[in-house]
Amino acid sequence: MHRRITSHVETEPHSSGPQPDGDPEPNNNGNPEGEENHQSDNEEDPHNNDAPPPPSPVRRSHRERRKAISDDYITYMSEDVDDIGKVEDPTSYKEAIKILNSSKWQIAMEDELKSMGSNDVWDLVEVPDGAKRVGSKWIYKTKYDPKGNIERFKARLVAKGFTQREGIDYNETFSPVSSKDSFRTVMALVAHFDLELHQMDIKTAFLNGDLDEDVYMTQPEGFVVEGKEHLACRLKKSIYGLKQASRQWYLKFDKIIRTFGFTENVKDNCIYVKFKGSRFTILVLYVDDILLACSDKDMLHETKNFLSSNFDMKDLGEASYVLGIEIHRDRSKGWGTDEQAVIYILAHRDAAQRKLIRLAYEEKYSESLTQRLQSELSGDFQTAMSYWILDPVERQAVIANSATKCIDEEYPVIVEIAYANSPAELLKVKQAYHALYKRSLEEDVAANATGNLRDLLLALVGTYRYDGDEVNGGLAKSEAKIIHKAVGNGSITDDGELTRILGTRSKAQLVATFNCFSDDHSTTVTKALLHAEDPTGYTRALRIAARCIADTNKYLVKVLRNAMRSSGTDEESLTRVVVMHAEKDLKEIKDEFHKRASVALEQAVAKETSGDYKTFIMALVGSQ
């Protein structure tokens, strides 16, 4: 809950409140309260020289008193003590398994231990003589979003570091933490230079740190291994709670981030910066939270990809809630875009309606709506919306063009486009490509690919295959033998025959050929290609082509499942499949996904994405 606190000092009139030296308050005519105006009976004679001089009057300042803090000095705070009505977290394992949400806390603890296992945090061993065990404890925390809604239940296993002994269980413990002043400075730079501002979370950050000491910890309460109660956990990673955990994590992160060209700030050791010519990225590390302020979107994505390849990261998208501070972005340049309104207007319109909106916008404002969205939006949301605003064939042409620029890695996209479309649909995509780039798709494929891979891709996109259902059984048998000869001995011995078959035959004919192959050799073409050794991308391209031919939707479901694996979300692949098929056959893909993953596509997307990107993709998938 956020409070707006206005700090100020109230100024009282001079006549109120206690007076200096404890004097009683004066009455209306200046005498102390309770005294008479006439002289008292024992008052000394003013003419008596022996009488003591009257006391000097108390001097008081007549300056106007100003408030110590001005009224416009406002502090915004986020305090857990003000979380009225929120769920009270359990304080022990025994309490967690008995309260209302015990099943959710049980799942949270199991997830924590699963994470410990995947990170190889400890080994169960006998405790050596003279060694002391460090206790362990469960810590429970209910996580909330900025609006106060429950986001998830988090259980964390920590070591009781207060029982560690210096020089035995740990040595150095110091670890720097970025200051709030540095955070404010970065925010000022973001506003001044109109930088992209994104946030990432490092899952189980401390588990990345390596221990230099031998530390033995008691097994977690409620999860003691039966029959091994006498054993202890010999820690290999710097688990939360250890005195050196924070330091070991920082040293690991510092070592890795420097290899990517970042340099440490001399004043704040948790701020790093990287320059590429006039472009730059600022990285702020606050324990396990990372803030990225970047002048270039490509550098931003490169940094995110690097971090995700080295740590278990969660991309939170554009920063909105950092260190208890809620961030509202109001860019003075451009629209000050209302992303929710953009999603509401465009995500629920079909291709014809979106085209009318584009034309109306361009007529009214004399600028391209597509270009305006690209300049106003950012990140994966901007990429997805930029694709969606296009006509379906133009969209595929743009995606294909992007793939040709790094075809050694993105050739699966070309194969996907070739087989996900009918010959007539593929022709329209190529026509759109020619209109947009003033050259053919085949020309760009030939210019960027090499060897057998180039020959295969050119055959896939350059041939107008027959689209009928007729099948030649004899031809299917003979070409099944050719395929087996090319891949059956564990390596590719292809003289162009595989390319000829896959690139020219109709889909119905190829399915018949694959069935003959399976009947004759008790395996599928895909599995046979899986065991074929080939250092180039040719074999994998053949395998993808075979999967698309056999069942395009099954292949696309595999792409989606790989895109949302636990190691990190591949937003590029997720965007491509959802946006390309939202107006075509996404319902069939969703049904196949649910069948194979035992979870709805909507649930998987909701779990693995965030921010405006999540809202937009969820709208296309159809849950909103």
Quote the pLDDT of residue 117: 83
Quote the pLDDT of residue 560: 93
For the chain, what is the mean pLDDT?
80
Whether residue 476 has pLDDT greater than 60: yes
Q: Is 473 annotated as a binding residue?
A: no
Whether residue 6 has pLDDT greater than 80: no
Q: Are 122 and 235 in contact (CB under 8 A)?
A: yes
User: Which amino acid belongs to residue 518?
Assistant: S
Matching residue, tokens 């689209």: 467
Structure tokens that stand for 523 in this block: 């395996």
- For residue range 357-400, list pLDDT tens digits in order: 999 889 888 889 888 888 788 788 888 999 999 999 999 999 99
Whether residue 84 has pLDDT greater than 70: no
Q: Which of 201-205, 223-227, 354-358, 589-593 has the lowest mean pLDDT?
A: 201-205
Q: Is 130 annotated as a binding residue?
A: no
- For residue range 261-279, list pLDDT tens digits in order: 999 988 888 899 998 877 8
533 contacts: CB under 8 Å, gap ≥ 6: 490, 491, 492, 539
Quote the pLDDT of residue 16: 41
Q: Is 334 annotated as a binding residue?
A: yes
Tell me how far apart the alpha carbons of residues 446 and 436 are, in angstroms, rounded to a whole number: 18
Res. 22 pLDDT band, cuts 50 70 90: very low
What average pLDDT does this structure show over 585-602?
Answer: 92
Q: Is 95 annotated as a binding residue?
A: no
Q: Are 210 and 252 in contact (CB under 8 A)?
A: yes
Whether residue 145 has pLDDT greater than 70: yes
H or E element at residue 527: helix 525-530
Q: What is the DSSP string of 405-417?
A: HTHHHHHHHHHHH
Sign, Cα dihedral of 276, 280, 286, 290: negative
Q: Which has the higher per-residue pLDDT, 84 or 452?
A: 452
What average pLDDT does this structure show over 497-506?
Answer: 89
Share of the chain above pLDDT 90, in %: 29
Res. 54 pLDDT band, cuts 50 70 90: low
Q: Which of 194-208, 538-552, 579-593 has the lowest mean pLDDT?
A: 194-208
Q: Which has the higher per-residue pLDDT, 494 or 608?
A: 608
Res. 411 pLDDT band, cuts 50 70 90: very high
Q: Is 36 annotated as a binding residue?
A: no
Whether residue 315 has pLDDT greater than 60: yes
Quote the pLDDT of residue 87: 66
CA distances from 423 to 404, 419, 476, 576 (A): 20, 9, 21, 20
Residue 595: how many other CB atoms lie within 10 Å:
10
Beta strands across the sheet bearing 133-134: 122-125, 232-235, 216-217, 133-134
What average pLDDT does this structure show over 417-423?
Answer: 91
Whether residue 572 has pLDDT greater than 50: yes
Tell me how far apart the alpha carbons of residues 389 and 97 are, in angstroms, rounded to a whole number: 50
Tell me how far apart the alpha carbons of residues 242 and 163 are, in angstroms, rounded to a whole number: 9
Res. 34 pLDDT band, cuts 50 70 90: very low
Quote the pLDDT of residue 496: 82
- For residue range 183-192, list pLDDT tens digits in order: 888 888 888 7
Whether residue 605 has pLDDT greater than 50: yes
Q: Is 261 annotated as a binding residue?
A: no
Tell me how far apart the alpha carbons of residues 515 and 482 are, in angstroms, rounded to a whole number: 14
Q: Which of 35-39, 166-170, 210-214, 290-294 has the lowest mean pLDDT?
A: 35-39
Q: Is 568 annotated as a binding residue?
A: yes
Q: Are 199 and 316 in contact (CB under 8 A)?
A: yes
